[in-house]
């Protein structure tokens, strides 16, 4: 049982019991602004990074389920956007990650290890 926080803030619920907002499969957490499964999280990340133009071969209303979510990338990506997944959230996450990495790098380079740890002894 995976414990996490539900959208309403209820601690201790099994988040996999809440369906993915894109394909209705078991969710794994909030990714890029929406409650999604690992598959839809990875699909969204790869699609944003590839910057490829996707086209639906149907009528832009293909059903997205765990069984057929890989059939139409265009409809799946549109569904990701419709449920609140954000391209800017992806970029913002990486800027924050880079900032933290640089901060840690500079902090470790400037302050010797003995000085950092003496406050905790």
- 63 vs 104 pLDDT, higher one: 63
pLDDT at 17: 82
Q: Which CATH number fits domain 3-85: 3.40.50.300, 3.30.50.10, 2.40.430.10, 3.30.1360.80?
A: 3.30.50.10
d(CA 113, CA 63) in angstroms, rounded, equals 56
From the list 33, 37, 2, the residue with the least C-alpha distance to 23 is 37
**Digit-coded pLDDT (tens) for 10-62:** 445 577 788 999 999 999 988 888 889 999 999 999 999 898 999 999 999 99
State the Rg of the chain over Cα: 19
Domain definitions of the chain by residue range: 3-85, 87-121
Per-residue pLDDT, averaged over 79-96, amounts to: 77
């Amino acid at each position: 049982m995976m414990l996490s926080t539900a959208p309403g803030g209820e601690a201790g619920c099994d988040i996999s019991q809440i369906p993915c907002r894109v394909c209705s499969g078991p969710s794994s957490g909030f990714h890029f602004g929406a409650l999604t499964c690992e598959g839809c999280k990875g699909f969204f990340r790869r699609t944003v990074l590839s910057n490829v133009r996707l086209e639906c071969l149907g009528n832009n209303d293909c059903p997205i389920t765990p069984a057929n979510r890989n059939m139409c990338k265009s409809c799946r990506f549109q569904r990701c956007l419709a449920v609140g997944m954000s391209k800017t959230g992806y970029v913002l996450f990486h800027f924050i990650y880079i900032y933290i990495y640089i901060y840690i790098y500079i902090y470790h380079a400037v302050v010797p290890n003995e000085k950092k740890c003496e406050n905790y002894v």
